[in-house]
Amino acid sequence: MKLKKNIATSESGFIFNPATGDSFSGNAMASNVLLAMKNGDTEALIKQNILQKYEVSPEQLDRDWDDWIVQLKEANLLESGTYDSK
């Protein structure tokens, strides 16, 4: 799944959608995940990196990931047809 190309992000977690004028803020983890998505990393690779860096079970990560994707879709930040949940 890819973040739309026009979405601006910062290291501090600021997210801006110039098409709608909407802005959002996230934490450091959100910033890292957004950067990985923007770079075209796969869901599997992003999750693998999170599991290596943070103390989280794969089950909890899957639940949190699904919630994250829903939030990004609702905010219209994703390319259509990408990072669909299982």
The confidence score (pLDDT) of residue 1 equals 65
Of 40, 57, 33, whose CA–CA distance to 1 is shortest?
40
Q: Which residues have a Cβ under 8 Å from the Cβ of 19 and sit 6 or more positions away?
A: 4, 6, 76
Write down the pLDDT at residue 2.
79
**pTM of the complete model beyond 0.95:** no
Beta sheet of 22-25, edge-to-edge order: 8-9, 14-17, 22-25
Question: Looking at residue 82, what is its pLDDT?
Answer: 56
Walk along the chain (86 residues) and give the pLDDT tens digit of each residue. 678 889 998 888 899 999 999 999 998 889 889 989 988 899 999 999 999 999 999 999 999 999 999 999 999 999 876 555 44
